[in-house]
Amino acid sequence: MEEQDPEKRPRRVRYKGTHPKAFKEKYKELDPTLYGDDVAKVMEQGRTPAGMHRSICVNEILDFLQISPGQKGLDATLGYGGHSAEMLKKLVPNGHLFAIDVDPYELPKTKERLAAMGFGEDVLTVKKMNFSSIDLLSQEVGLFNFVLADLGVSSMQIDNPERGFSFKVEGPLDLRLNPTSGKSAAEFLKSISKLQLEELLIENSDEPHASAIAQTIAFHLSKGKKIRTTTDLQEIIKEALVYLPEAQRKEEIKKSCQRCFQALRIAVNDEFGVLDKFLEKLPYVLAPGGRVAILSFHSGEDRRVKKSFQNLFRGGIYKDISNDVIRPSLQEINSNPRAKSAKLRWAVRG
């Protein structure tokens, strides 16, 4: 009698053609760490592998934070965990990193990924919470020797069409960092006036065609048109900019789509309001001499960080701050074009 074959793992779903179209079928994107050779090839081409995130200014951040074993730190925006992994290497033995994020989907994946690297709960505590509540965390665990906040949206959020962060692929017009809370971008658009939308596009993304775009969106909504998907919004932006000369229209539509999606994302997640609360509470969760580094990707974010650091420095709360913004190296930008807009600022608690 033949022996029974051991239980076999189910084969992955097959798809037509050479490349999958549905994101759920893209097994490499859903777990890119299993495909090291493919990931290396993509990164050599100066691209970010889908489903992954490449941390920015890692060396510059580590040089400033001066992490040593036994310290207590906070990664206020865990994301994919790239920065956390490097900070944890500096903390062991006897140190501890607390890491927080609002994304209920990516958070457990990152915790599992870091655990597989050897960073278990003895050195790492992961919590789902907004960084505007760092005071509550500090009340529970004490003051931190260092804090890092990376204000950028993670690449794996952008790459997943179900999250609605990108106009390049169709998906629900959502844009929430935490899709289980608050209004989606589609719902948000229905709740504001034309004037409010125009002001939002200018304030959040310096959109030069804000008036035309806001007017076209308001017109379609007034006629009962549903703006439910990323493609719906992209088509309306195209319609709004039809008056532009044909030679420049395609590129200008692309830029306006990028800016409008960014503006809506900032609004839907109240990113500026949350950042202001974080900056206000930040010095009071730092131990004396504690260090903080903040990586921003938008002029509105950087302006808030700069003003907060300057005001608290003049008030004697910070004893030192970065005089100039720190940019990624040309080598890093060539390797990872998504780093181009990054700005790093730091401060030291008095």
DSSP string, 93-122: TT-EEEEEES-TTHHHHHHHHHHHTT--TT
In terms of Cα–Cα distance, which of 290, 294, 248, 346 is closest to 138? 290
pTM: 0.82
- Range list of H helices, 192-270: 194-205, 210-222, 230-240, 246-268
Candidate CATH numbers 1.10.1660.10, 3.40.50.2020, 3.40.50.150, 1.20.120.1200; the one for domain 58-155+272-349? 3.40.50.150
Taking the C-alpha atoms of residue 112 and residue 203, their distance in angstroms, rounded to an integer, is: 38
| Domain ranges across the chain | 58-155+272-349, 179-268
CA neighbor of 151 nearest in space, from 41, 228, 38, 266: 266
Identify the pLDDT of residue 332.
Answer: 87
Query: Residues 6 or more apart from 343 whose CB is under 8 A from it?
Result: 295, 296, 297, 302, 325, 326, 327
User: Using an 8 Å Cβ cutoff, are 302 and 325 in contact?
Assistant: yes
Q: What does each of the 350 residues of the chain score in pLDDT, given as a tens digit?
A: 444 444 444 454 554 544 445 555 444 445 555 544 444 444 444 444 445 567 899 999 999 999 999 999 999 999 889 999 999 999 998 999 999 999 888 899 999 999 999 999 999 999 999 999 999 999 999 999 999 999 987 766 667 777 777 777 889 999 898 888 899 999 999 999 999 999 999 999 999 999 999 999 999 999 999 999 999 999 999 999 999 999 999 999 999 999 999 999 999 999 999 999 999 999 999 999 999 999 999 889 999 999 999 999 999 999 999 999 999 999 988 888 888 889 999 999 99
Same fold across 58-155+272-349 and 179-268: no
End-to-end C-alpha distance for the chain, whole angstroms: 78
Q: Is 10 helix (H, G, I), strand (E, B) or coil?
A: coil
pLDDT of residue 156: 65
The whole-number pLDDT of residue 33 equals: 55
Which helix (DSSP H) or strand (DSSP E) does residue 241 occupy?
Answer: none
Give the C-alpha separation, 256 to 207, whole Å.
7
CATH architecture of 179-268: Orthogonal Bundle (1.10)
Separation CA 69–CA 71 (nearest Å): 6
Q: Are 305 and 271 in contact (CB under 8 A)?
A: no
Number of DSSP helices (H) and strands (E) in the chain, helices first: 15, 7
Q: Which helix (H) or strand (E) segment is 295 a member of?
A: strand 286-296
**Which H/E stretch holds residue 145?**
strand 144-150
Assess contact for 119 and 99: CB atoms under 8 A.
no
- Residue 6 has a pLDDT of 46
What CA–CA distances, in Å, run from 106 to 172, 213, 313?
18, 33, 35
- Per the CB < 8 A criterion, the answer to whether 324 and 290 are in contact is no
Give the count of beta carbons closer than 10 Å to the beta carbon of residue 44.
9
Task: State the Rg of the chain over Cα.
Answer: 22
- Which position has the token pair 């920065």? 83
236 neighbors 227 (Cβ within 8 angstroms): yes
pLDDT at 186: 94
Cα–Cα dist 271/279, whole Å: 12
Q: What pLDDT does 15 receive?
A: 47
Output the CA torsion sign for 79, 83, 86, 90.
negative
What pLDDT is attached to residue 268?
94
pLDDT of residue 144: 98
Tokens of 62: 């580590």
Residues 341 and 283: beta-carbon distance below 8 Å: no
Q: Is there a cis peptide before residue 93, judged by omega within 30 degrees of 0?
A: yes
